[in-house]
Amino acid sequence: MDLQRALYSYYDEVLLRCVPEEARTRDADDAAKVLGLYRAIHLHGTVAEDELAAREDEALVDELCRPYLAWRRWRSRWRLVGRKGGRAVLQRNDGMLISAPESCCRPVSGKRSSSEGEYEVALTALRRRALPGWVVLDGAPPNSVPLDGRVYISLSPDGLEDGWHTLMAALRGSGVLYQAKVVNNRDAARRPDCCVVYVPRSSVPEVASLVDQVLPHDVRDELTPGFALPESRGVAVALAPADRPLASHGLTCAEEIWMAIREEVPGPCTKATAWRHLQALLERQRVRLDGRPESLEVEARRV
């Protein structure tokens, strides 16, 4: 995943939550949503907040809508990557994979109906709700319970399948309420070398200890995300802010950047650029990942 796709994912899952509640609960048009979005993030610093308040006119609405609508069109395109059991397997531009009935998929106007063409998919075709790039594989349904603690696990290439199954079996037998997600990249329906387990805050130490007990060190990758606190080799933890347990702007954005870094392992320049952009976005929103300034680091920690 390149930086552009990582940032598009950020816009989709994090910034749109900044849209005023009244714009989300009624049938507001795209212009109203765009104004709320750009007011919340100060137009990425290109227009001051007080200037924006004085310029809420049709020209500004048009100016803001163009990139927003272009992004929405880009995001809504899917590629047909295969067929299985009478269902189409499609991949969205932001990397998310779904399996949908072929009756719900239609070629984009003007495109050839082939594996290289682009498709539009009815919203009812989605089997699950997950962050772009992540797929929910085990545990409680998304957003069903306040899972405000996070445990990040990095598995080595040699320990992917066995490590994943061992970990999920241990979690199911522990009695802890949890939800597990893994990276979903362009080439595979699941990629368990980047795993995040959501649990209640009080269960974070127990789950981190459980991971350390059931997964040998040689099946864990030594890299852990720099925005989380390392516990042991390949294991790190983080807590969502107490006032936003289910919609943590900082952690959600950081997970997207971590996913982007791990998916193609870009060079130091690309990684540093991604983290600088992330830090700038968080500073504009006055959001810290875990309340400590040093939690935003350019490089991943090594345990």
Per-residue pLDDT of 259-277, as tens digits, reads: 444 443 333 334 444 445 4
Strands (E) across 48-203 are located at: 78-84, 87-92, 97-101, 105-107, 118-121, 134-139, 149-154, 179-183, 191-199
Tell me: do 161 and 197 sit in the same domain. Answer: yes
Q: According to the model, what pLDDT value does residue 82 have? A: 73
- Going by pLDDT thresholds of 50, 70 and 90, the confidence category of residue 14 is very low
Tell me: do 104 and 19 sit in the same domain. Answer: no
Q: According to the model, what pLDDT value does residue 209 have? A: 92
> Is a pLDDT exceeding 60 seen at residue 203?
yes
User: Helices 268-285 and 249-264 meet at what angle, rounded to 10?
Assistant: 170
- Going by pLDDT thresholds of 50, 70 and 90, the confidence category of residue 201 is confident
Tell me: do 141 and 261 sit in the same domain. Answer: yes
Q: According to the model, what pLDDT value does residue 150 have? A: 83
Distance from C-alpha of 59 to C-alpha of 79, rounded to nearest angstrom: 35
- Going by pLDDT thresholds of 50, 70 and 90, the confidence category of residue 169 is confident
Average pLDDT value over all residues in the chain: 56
- Pick the last residue of a domain from 63, 98, 125: 125
Tell me: do 215 and 150 sit in the same domain. Answer: yes
> Is a pLDDT exceeding 50 seen at residue 88?
yes
> Is a pLDDT exceeding 60 seen at residue 90?
yes
273: Cα within 13 Å, side-chain hemisphere: 11
Tell me: do 159 and 277 sit in the same domain. Answer: yes
Tell me: do 262 and 193 sit in the same domain. Answer: yes
Q: According to the model, what pLDDT value does residue 223 have? A: 65
Tell me: do 95 and 203 sit in the same domain. Answer: no
Q: Which residue has the higher pLDDT, 47 or 175?
A: 175
Tell me: do 154 and 270 sit in the same domain. Answer: yes
Tell me: do 248 and 282 sit in the same domain. Answer: yes
Q: According to the model, what pLDDT value does residue 112 have? A: 42
Q: What is the pTM of this model?
A: 0.42
289-303 average pLDDT score: 30
CA distances 268 to 38, 64, 272, Å, are 31, 33, 6
- Pick the last residue of a domain from 125, 156, 191: 125
Q: Which residue has the higher pLDDT, 128 or 187?
A: 187
Q: According to the model, what pLDDT value does residue 103 have? A: 60
Tell me: do 280 and 176 sit in the same domain. Answer: yes
CB 62 within 8 A of CB 35: no
Q: How many domains does the chain have?
A: 3
Tell me: do 112 and 244 sit in the same domain. Answer: no
- Enclosing domain of residue 49: 3-75
25-36 average pLDDT score: 44
- Going by pLDDT thresholds of 50, 70 and 90, the confidence category of residue 207 is very high
Q: According to the model, what pLDDT value does residue 142 have? A: 52
CB 185 within 8 A of CB 274: no
Tell me: do 16 and 115 sit in the same domain. Answer: no
